Every structure is written in structure tokens, then in C-alpha cells.
Amino acid sequence: MIHLRAIANKQLAKKSESFPFNLSIVKSFKEINFHSPVTFFVGENGSGKSTFLEAIAAGVGSITVGGEDIERDKTLNSARELSTQLKFVWQKKTRRGFFLRAEDFFNFVRRMKTLSQELDEQALEYEQKFTGFGLELAKRSALAQKAALTQKYGEEPDAYSHGETFFKLFQSRFVPGGLYLLDEPEAALSPLRQLALLSLLKEMINQDSQFIIATHSPILMAFPNATILSFDVCPPKEVSYQELEQVSLTKAFLNNPQSFIRHL
């Protein structure tokens, strides 16, 4: 399912030399069309792929996982500003889905741990304030919330490896019919977990979900029939998997690592 069909420049000709309007990729931008359920934004660091992903998240009002709400997150000020210059074309608008940056994952773990502790404290507080049936109802509410949290994310989220918790997050938060904006989701994932994420993506696009993913991972980029947009050229250009420098460089290194290492 294609929910978001395109983003385009409103042609408001905003004159600014401040970030992100000073980026070549922003100055040359006209339009991106989404014609497959999975689209990858690829390119070197600083190419603008994450900036555009953040602007999409701000423009469509995506919820965030781990970080502050998009409207209040100061690190997304420039993304919000850029989003006002973009037109969003929907095929079927959805309010489901979320936006996740790899760096927000650690905030998510802390938030889940704090919430779990607060629910425990709340249950103890109810024992001091209420008695009888009132106590039973109050405690049941707090413990039911904690049980739901545990069922989704485990008894102690940071007791797992980062990769395990990260993948569990995807498993618990992906729902059918969503638009998911993921910035470098491979950051905490081993190669095996990245393959598992590919399987999860396939499962979700069969349930009418759409993914736009900024990544450096040749494993993720290999998803069948995905659109790959290179931000190393202006404006962004659709490329094939075999054209990607990340792919050819990784292959060359794996075939003969010593030829690279001896030049270090």
C-alpha cells in the first residue's frame, strides 16, 4: 500500500542561507514520488537524507518513539521549517505508524523503565490511600498497565541487548496500515537481526504498511522491489542496488579485506 504518494516543493522560493536551506539537495529539490511500499534514502553522511526524512515526519504529523513530540523537539526545528515548504500528496492518508531515529532508542528504554517504576510506586501508594474494593480497583488498574508494558517490551527492557530491545520495539509497535519513517534502524542490529527486520518489513507491507527508511546498510537495501533514492546527487535520483557504492565497496572489502587494511 502506498499511503504517501509524493512530496513536492511548494515553490515558495524561501530565501535563506541557514540550515537546511543552504544544502544543495534542498536548493535543487523539486519532487519525490513514492511508487513502492518500501523506499530507501541512501547517501553519505551530510547528504541530507535524514533531514528530508525528519521533514516528512514533521509534515505528516508522525508520532515519535523515544524522543519528544515532533512539535516540541528542539533538534527538529530545522525539519519543521523545511516541512512548511513541502507539499504532501496522499493516496490514502493514515494516522498509524511512527518516526524513529536510532539515537532516540536509548530515550525509549529509559522512558519504559521510568514508567514501569512509576506504576510500581503508584500501586504502593494506593495501598496507603485506599482500602477494600477501592484499593482493589486502583491497584488492578496500575498493575494492568504494567502487565501490558511487560507483555510488549519485556520485564526489564535494558536487561536485553540493544539489538534485542530494538527489534522487540519494532515487533510490538508495527501495526497494519501504517506509515513508518525509520532513520538508520540498522544502528543497533546485528546482520542476523537486519535479516529478521527484512522479514518483518515483508510481513507489514502485506498488511498495507509503507516504509521510508534512511540507511547505510547494504542488507536492508536489498529488500525486493524497493525503491532506492540516492541523495549523493542533486536532486535525489533513483538507482539500482548494484549501482550503490555501499554495495560495491562492501563486496570488495569482504572479498579481500587485507587489500584495504594494509593501507591504514
Q: What is the pLDDT of residues 42-78, one digit of tens each?
A: 999 888 999 999 999 999 998 887 666 777 777 788 8
Give the per-residue pLDDT at 137: 54
Q: What is the pLDDT of residues 154-190, one digit of tens each?
A: 555 444 555 677 778 788 889 999 999 999 999 878 8
Helix ranges (H only) for 30-158 are 49-60, 77-83, 105-129, 132-153
Lookup: cell for 156: 526489564
Q: What is the pLDDT of residues 106-141, one digit of tens each?
A: 665 555 555 555 555 555 665 555 555 554 554 455
User: What span, in angstroms and rounded, lies between the C-alpha atoms of 60 and 177?
Assistant: 15
pTM of the predicted protein model? 0.80
More confident residue, 175 or 153: 175
User: What span, in angstroms and rounded, lies between the C-alpha atoms of 29 and 27?
Assistant: 6
User: What span, in angstroms and rounded, lies between the C-alpha atoms of 176 and 60?
Assistant: 18
> Residue range 191-216: average pLDDT?
95
Lookup: cell for 90: 496522499
Give the per-residue pLDDT at 130: 56
Give the per-residue pLDDT at 135: 47
* Segment (H or E) for 232: none
What share of the chain has pLDDT > 90, as a percent? 39
Give the per-residue pLDDT at 138: 47
Does the pLDDT value for residue 32 go beyond 80? Answer: yes
User: What span, in angstroms and rounded, lies between the C-alpha atoms of 190 and 145?
Assistant: 31
Does the pLDDT value for residue 80 go beyond 60? Answer: yes
Give the per-residue pLDDT at 156: 52
Q: What is the pLDDT of residues 1-19, one digit of tens each?
A: 899 999 998 865 556 778 8
- Residue found by looking up cell 529478521 in the block: 196
User: What span, in angstroms and rounded, lies between the C-alpha atoms of 62 and 54?
Assistant: 10
pLDDT class for 103, splitting at 50, 70, 90?
confident
Does the pLDDT value for residue 230 go beyond 80? Answer: yes
User: Is the Cβ–Cβ distance between 204 and 1 less than 8 Å?
Assistant: no
What is the average pLDDT score of the chain? Answer: 81
Beta bridge partners of 261: none
For residue 259, the 8-state DSSP code is H
CATH, domain range 4-104+175-261: 3.40.50
Give the per-residue pLDDT at 132: 53
Does the pLDDT value for residue 105 go beyond 70? Answer: no
Domain residue limits, the chain: 4-104+175-261, 107-157
User: Is the Cβ–Cβ distance between 189 and 219 less than 8 Å?
Assistant: no
Helix ranges (H only) for the chain are 24-27, 49-60, 77-83, 105-129, 132-153, 162-173, 191-205, 218-221, 245-255, 257-261
User: Is the Cβ–Cβ distance between 226 and 36 less than 8 Å?
Assistant: yes
User: Is the Cβ–Cβ distance between 211 and 38 less than 8 Å?
Assistant: yes
| DSSP assignment string, 10-33 | --------STTTTSHHHHT--EEE
